[in-house]
């Protein structure tokens, strides 16, 4: 579980709810995403199994049960899909060490640290159903690698926030270790190393340059539980949290990239998308504040409506506390509603479907059979955030296709009950086809966002044109922005 972390100042989220601008067609294309390989059968994976995978990833976090001048925007390729019957996660690859080796790592906004499998490793998978080659890092064979010791200042800082482990009996030269434990008993442990990371930097003239920097990351030498399974195995996890040891914080302190990252996770079966350390920019935004002083990216969700009708849920259920709140987490395959909000949501969906749709319960989940399109048969859902900001959620963002026979399709609600918990988690099922810009450093300008996955612009220098955008900020929203999040709809 990640310990809480005190934010430096106000956190503001920016929600862009825009139609695709005509100018999008003229925008320069972003780097192409890598091809997605089918990992799992398209049908037949039990919902229970998907929920167990999410729960294993989240249990370690307790979710289920000042900037230097920067050189440019760091661009990472994206693979994976929100479709849980194909992949159910998004991942990228990083190059580490000298000579460099490539490691495939899950994109996770709900944790902080980048860690990869190291050699030797107990329980680590050696093959993956994602059709990607797995590798292991060996610091002894890299000419630029060094182990972080317990006396290192970076280890001392990580010890204070629970991201590192050193025993009182350890000597100052002992390795700085870590242990991440999952609720089902699975987890990973290892030690921290420093070595070279290689990446692509997009500069002001839209040229791509090969760059590198020395960073600290985790070296996993033991894995257990679900991490040992080969069906969706990757080499590690790429945490995008706010901790000083996160890659985004380290590269910013080195002057390599802004303390901002953006992602657009494409929802098509081919998946892919955009992931940059930097901003994807475009005018036209509405704003809602994030919850300050939280270890996760928490939003102020106030209510939910189905076909424009507000659900009978006490507003206090969505207030953020140690046991409540709404979290944006790319490490979640599905979405999880607070226990008290689940029944009203499911009941409202069932009551609002087209008369031609037949309802049934399959393995404890509310499902529907229809021969018509989902857009014409199912209601829209609207999430309302602080500041009267609304985000419309289409049926494909809360339904999963389970099976089809002739012209009839079985759809089931993919939003699950967070049993016994009042925490709502917006996972990939909701996040797909939306741009999210996470501003985790100091900023005194208005962020701009392009609501498409296929095209867009990078803001390389972080110097935004503030004057043109004051009119877009609604009354009562803080505009001196320190930590912020932007998200908006995306063109299919």
- What is the spatial distance between Cα 463 and Cα 261, in angstroms, rounded to a whole number? 15
Kindly list the distances between the CA atom of residue 442 and the CA atoms of 169, 262, 300, 371, in Å, as whole numbers in the listed order: 39, 16, 21, 51
428 backbone dihedrals φ, ψ, rounded to 5°:
-60, -30
**Catalytic residue positions?**
108, 329
Q: What is the DSSP letter of 394?
A: -
> Residue 488, Cα to own-chain centre: how many angstroms?
15
Q: What is the DSSP letter of 347?
A: H
Is residue 301 within 8 Å of residue 383, measured between CB atoms?
yes
Q: Report the first-to-last Cα separation within the chain, whole angstroms.
A: 36
Kindly list the distances between the CA atom of residue 345 and the CA atoms of 163, 301, 421, in Å, as whole numbers in the listed order: 37, 15, 16
The alpha carbons of the chain give a radius of gyration, in whole angstroms, of 22
306 backbone dihedrals φ, ψ, rounded to 5°:
-120, 120
Question: Judging by beta carbons within 10 Å of its beta carbon (0-12, 13-18, 19+), is residue 253 exposed, middle or buried?
Answer: middle
């Amino acid at each position: 579980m990640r310990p809480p972390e005190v934010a430096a100042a106000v956190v503001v989220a920016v929600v862009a709810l825009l139609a695709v601008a005509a100018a999008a067609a003229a925008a320069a294309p972003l780097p192409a995403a890598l091809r997605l390989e089918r990992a799992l059968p398209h049908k037949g994976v039990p919902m229970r199994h998907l929920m167990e995978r999410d729960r294993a990833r989240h249990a370690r976090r307790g979710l289920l049960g000042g900037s230097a001048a920067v050189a440019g925007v760091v661009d990472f390729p994206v693979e994976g899909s929100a479709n849980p019957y194909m992949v159910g996660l998004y991942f990228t690859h990083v190059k580490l060490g000298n000579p460099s080796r490539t490691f495939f790592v899950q994109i996770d906004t709900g944790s902080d640290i980048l860690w990869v499998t190291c050699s030797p490793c107990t329980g680590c998978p050696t093959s993956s159903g994602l059709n990607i080659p797995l590798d292991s890092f060996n610091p002894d064979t890299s000419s630029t690698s060094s182990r972080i010791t317990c006396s290192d200042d970076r280890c001392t800082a990580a010890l204070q926030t629970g991201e590192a482990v050193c025993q009182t009996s350890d000597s100052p030269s002992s390795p700085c270790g870590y242990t991440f434990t999952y609720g089902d008993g699975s987890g990973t442990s290892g030690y921290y190393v420093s070595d070279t990371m290689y990446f692509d930097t997009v500069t002001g003239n839209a040229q791509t340059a090969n760059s590198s920097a020395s960073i600290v990351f985790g070296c996993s030498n033991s894995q257990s539980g679900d991490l040992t399974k080969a069906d969706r195995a990757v080499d590690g996890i790429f945490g995008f949290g706010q901790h000083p040891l996160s890659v985004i914080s380290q590269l910013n302190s080195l002057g390599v990239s802004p303390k901002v990252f953006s992602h657009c996770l494409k929802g098509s079966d081919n998946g892919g998308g955009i992931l940059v350390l930097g901003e994807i920019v475009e005018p036209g935004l509405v704003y809602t504040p994030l919850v300050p002083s939280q270890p996760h990216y928490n939003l102020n969700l106030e209510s939910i409506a189905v076909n424009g009708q507000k659900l009978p849920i006490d507003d206090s259920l969505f207030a953020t506390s140690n046991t409540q709140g709404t979290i944006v987490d790319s490490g979640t395959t599905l979405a999880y509603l607070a226990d008290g909000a689940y029944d009203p949501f499911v009941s409202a969906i069932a009551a609002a479907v087209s008369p031609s749709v037949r309802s049934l319960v399959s393995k404890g989940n509310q499902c529907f059979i229809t021969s018509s399109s989902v857009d014409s048969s199912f209601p829209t859902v609207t999430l309302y955030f602080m500041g009267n900001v609304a985000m419309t959620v289409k049926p494909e963002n809360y339904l999963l296709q389970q099976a089809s026979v002739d012209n009839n399709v079985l759809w089931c609600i993919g939003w699950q009950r967070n049993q016994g918990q009042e925490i709502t988690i917006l996972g990939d099922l909701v996040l797909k086809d939306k741009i999210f810009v996470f501003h985790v450093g100091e900023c005194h300008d208005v962020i701009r966002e392009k609501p498409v996955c296929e095209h867009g612009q990078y803001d390389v220098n972080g110097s935004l044109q503030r004057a043109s955008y004051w009119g877009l900020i609604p009354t009562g929203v803080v505009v001196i922005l320190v930590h912020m999040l932007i998200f908006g709809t995306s063109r299919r």
